[in-house]
């Protein structure tokens, strides 16, 4: 398939490796850019870290590796490093003129894949691809390790159905977890998709709500840093549960948390993340309502959920009333179980995943809710919709929902969206039971869009407004095709979606190629088109999508997740940075420096990075109860 999710491992690898360079020193930036070009990489430069983050968020899956300077005025390089690792899980290579061992050590501690000392030579850059490959392979290995949950193969519909019969969260959660993992891996390596389903079949452990809560409280008790499977197992004291079960669940949980924190940062607060999506959905409009109806009609939503959802939705502002007209078809479609429903609406699934108090006892499953959950009308869509649209790391459903939400959010693009949806509908070959679940991750991407992409071939160096000044996006090397495929991986990485070939930006009808993520679309459309944020054509939609999401992100006030404390410094990825301890952070920073005995210079804005050291990186605020309570509102 042309739209192979895994672009990096393409024929000409490492040619075409997509690199994002962040450095406030324009001289260095220019030199690096030139060097990277000579390595045949696709370079995007950015002189501001904040702009870089926005870029990465908006175009998830559009980059393979990030090169960042350590010392930058608007954001410490290490912070950027952490954020990228959390939100996008991309390899980050640090650069600095500071070659002291302590500095390099710091880079390693923060999770940098590599640390280059300036002045950087071209030869050093030639090899950065190894970090991309290494990371992918490690993730793939991780994927393979999740034996107990491997049964939740997306391909196995039977099991999916069975799980549905449980409470909405149980099986779905399982599925989602697996799918999520799958997606993560798939995003990197498409081959894994099919491989894992067959391998490592162990007696499946169903992580029920109760079980998961036990798990979470055990983790909290131990502290996320110290939460090792063995100890968790002991604390949980569940007969029949193996350490391996716990280990794989823990892995997933960690990934989930990472997504969370990433989302939280964008959305300004995760625990309320369930609120987040709601808000977003609100903006998206009434889509949810219809979805709920549809779902209810299909008998998937328990009455209380439905009520909750409706209450939620009805009270929301009109995001995109334009979609109202879609009710009928949606409802009918859902009744008929037609797959096209989701497509048409594009927002079907995002919305329904509103609060479902009854079902939102587990935060984990909630977050992980994907298509399956949508089906049951349960599941709160983890906020990320906009912020992390197309985040590859997101569950497939998430991706889809993001797309959905987006659709809702862009009323002005109704037509093009609908158009796309129509086309998608036709091109979708979803399985019956999944009809409603099918969520084009990127509704925005219609098969038609591939055409538009094609037209967007004229790469141009565009200074993307949506990204803001200081960020020069060089699309010179972007090509619609490659972008699509690569982006697909990034954005969708949803086996589910893929299989249903919902978003086949590149392929023809019924093709099950990885959907093209809106990222690529944006890139392409931006590059080739008039990236004006709002344009009536498909590419325009994507473009607007991009910009919109970006804008929305900005608009979402940063709420303190608690889980992700201020400064969004997550040392061990789960650290909770208490908001009220700025001084401690500072002190920590200094202490760190002094401890080194090297009189490490405290660069500005280094303190928060030091949180890693001192803050108690335990998910203190992150407890099952907390999140649960959010839903019980």
Residues that bind other proteins (CB under 8 A): 24-28, 30-31, 34-35, 38, 69, 71, 73, 96-98, 118-122, 599, 601-604
Instruction: Spell 100-123 as b/e; 16+ CB within 10 A means b.
Output: eebbbebbeebbbbbbbebebeee
Q: Judged by CB, which is closer to other proteins: 98, or 173?
A: 98
Q: Judged by CB, which is closer to other proteins: 119, or 317?
A: 119
**Distance in Å, CB of 606 to other proteins, minimum:** 9
Q: Judged by CB, which is closer to other proteins: 2, or 26?
A: 26
CA distance 262 to 387: 9
CA distance 530 to 542: 11
The DSSP annotation for 522-569 comes to HHHHHHHS---S--SSHHHHHHHHHHHHHHHHHHS-----SSS-GGG-
The DSSP annotation for 263-318 comes to HHHHHT-SGGGGHHHHHHHHHH-THHHHHHHHHHHTT-S-HHHHHHHHHHHHTS--
**Distance in Å, CB of 98 to other proteins, minimum:** 7
Q: Judged by CB, which is closer to other proteins: 243, or 476?
A: 476
**Distance in Å, CB of 128 to other proteins, minimum:** 17
Place of tokens 């991407």: 445
Q: Judged by CB, which is closer to other proteins: 291, or 610?
A: 610
CA distance 307 to 299: 14
**Distance in Å, CB of 35 to other proteins, minimum:** 6
Q: In what order do the strands lie in the sheet with 92-96?
A: 114-117, 92-96, 65-69, 18-22, 42-46, 471-474, 461-462
- What are the beta bridge partners of residue 46? 22, 471
Q: Judged by CB, which is closer to other proteins: 69, or 173?
A: 69
**Distance in Å, CB of 39 to other proteins, minimum:** 11
**Distance in Å, CB of 118 to other proteins, minimum:** 5
**Distance in Å, CB of 31 to other proteins, minimum:** 5
Q: Judged by CB, which is closer to other proteins: 75, or 175?
A: 75
For residue 42, report the phi and psi dihedrals to the nearest 5 degrees: -100, 115
CA distance 354 to 368: 13
**CA neighbor of 262 nearest in space, from 474, 544, 47, 57:** 57
Q: Judged by CB, which is closer to other proteins: 66, or 564?
A: 66
Q: Judged by CB, which is closer to other proteins: 345, or 605?
A: 605
Q: Judged by CB, which is closer to other proteins: 30, or 202?
A: 30
**Distance in Å, CB of 121 to other proteins, minimum:** 6
CA distance 353 to 509: 28
21: three-class secondary structure by DSSP: strand
Q: Judged by CB, which is closer to other proteins: 238, or 586?
A: 586
Task: Give the angle 581-584-587 at the CA atoms, nearest 5°.
Answer: 155
**Distance in Å, CB of 348 to other proteins, minimum:** 47
**Distance in Å, CB of 590 to other proteins, minimum:** 11
Dihedral sign of CA atoms 98, 102, 104, 108 in order: negative
- What are the beta bridge partners of residue 44? 20
CA distance 51 to 543: 17
Where do runs of H (alpha helix) occur along 20-156?
26-38, 49-58, 77-83, 101-109, 122-126, 129-145
CA distance 45 to 24: 10
**Distance in Å, CB of 473 to other proteins, minimum:** 18
Q: Judged by CB, which is closer to other proteins: 25, or 626?
A: 25
- What are the beta bridge partners of residue 461? 474
**Distance in Å, CB of 72 to other proteins, minimum:** 9
């Amino acid at each position: 398939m042309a739209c192979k999710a895994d672009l990096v491992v393409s024929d000409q690898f490492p040619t075409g490796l997509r690199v994002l360079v962040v450095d406030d020193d324009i001289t260095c930036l220019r030199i690096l850019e030139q060097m990277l070009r000579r390595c045949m990489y696709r370079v995007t430069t950015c002189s501001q870290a904040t702009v870089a983050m926005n870029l990465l968020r908006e175009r998830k899956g559009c980059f393979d590796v990030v090169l960042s300077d350590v010392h930058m005025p608007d954001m410490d390089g290490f912070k950027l490093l952490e954020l990228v690792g959390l939100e996008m899980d991309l390899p980050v290579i640090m650069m600095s003129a500071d070659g002291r061992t302590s500095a390099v050590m710091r880079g390693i501690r923060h999770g940098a894949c590599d640390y280059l000392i300036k002045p950087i030579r071209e030869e050093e850059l030639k090899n950065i691809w190894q970090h991309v490959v290494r990371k992918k392979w490690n993730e793939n290995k991780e994927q393979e390790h999740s034996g107990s949950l491997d049964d939740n193969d997306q391909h196995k519909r039977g099991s999916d159905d069975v799980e549905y019969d449980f409470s909405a969260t149980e099986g779905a959660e399982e599925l989602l977890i697996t799918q999520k993992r799958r997606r993560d891996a798939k995003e990197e390596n498409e081959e894994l998709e099919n491989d894992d389903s067959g391998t490592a079949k162990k007696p499946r452990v169903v992580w029920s709500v109760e079980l998961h809560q036990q798990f979470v409280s055990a983790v909290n008790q131990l502290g996320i840093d110290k939460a090792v499977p063995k100890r968790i197992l002991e604390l949980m004291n569940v007969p029949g549960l193996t350490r391996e079960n716990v280990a794989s669940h823990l892995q997933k949980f960690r990934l989930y948390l990472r997504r969370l924190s990433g989302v939280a940062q964008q959305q300004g607060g995760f625990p309320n993340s369930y609120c987040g999506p709601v808000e977003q959905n609100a903006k998206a409009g009434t889509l949810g309502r219809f979805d709920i109806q549809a779902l209810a009609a299909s008998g998937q939503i328990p009455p209380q959920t439905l009520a909750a959802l409706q209450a939620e939705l009805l009270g929301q502002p009109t995001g995109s009333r334009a979609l109202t007209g879609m009710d009928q078809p949606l409802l009918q479609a859902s009744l008929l179980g037609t797959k096209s429903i989701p497509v048409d609406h594009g927002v079907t699934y995002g919305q329904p995943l509103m609060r479902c108090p009854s079902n939102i006892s587990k935060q984990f499953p909630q977050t992980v809710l994907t298509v399956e959950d949508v089906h049951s009308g349960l599941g709160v869509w983890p906020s990320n919709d906009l912020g992390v649209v197309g985040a590859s790391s997101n569950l497939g459903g998430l991706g889809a929902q993001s797309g959905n939400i987006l659709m809702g959010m862009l009323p002005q693009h109704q037509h093009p969206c609908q158009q796309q949806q129509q086309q998608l509908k036709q091109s979708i070959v979803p399985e019956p039971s999944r009809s409603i679940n099918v969520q084009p991750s990127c509704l925005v991407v219609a098969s038609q869009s591939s055409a538009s992409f094609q037209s967007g071939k004229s790469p141009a160096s565009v200074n993307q407004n949506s990204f803001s000044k200081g960020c020069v996006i060089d699309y010179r090397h972007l090509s619609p095709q490659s972008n699509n495929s690569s982006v697909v991986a990034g954005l969708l990485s949803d086996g589910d979606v893929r299989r249903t070939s919902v978003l086949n930006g590149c392929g023809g009808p019924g093709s099950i190629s990885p959907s093209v993520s809106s990222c690529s679309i944006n890139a392409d459309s931006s590059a080739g088109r008039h990236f004006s944020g709002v344009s009536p054509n498909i590419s325009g939609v994507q473009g607007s999508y991009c910009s919109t999401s970006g804008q929305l992100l900005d608009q979402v006030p940063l709420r303190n997740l608690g889980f992700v404390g201020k400064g969004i410094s997550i040392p061990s990825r789960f650290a909770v940075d208490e908001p009220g301890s700025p001084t401690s952070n500072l002190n920590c920073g200094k202490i760190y420096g002094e401890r080194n005995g090297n009189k490490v210079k405290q660069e500005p804005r280094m303190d928060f990075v030091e949180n890693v050291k001192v803050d108690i990186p335990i998910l203190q605020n992150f407890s099952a109860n907390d999140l649960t309570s959010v839903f019980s509102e």
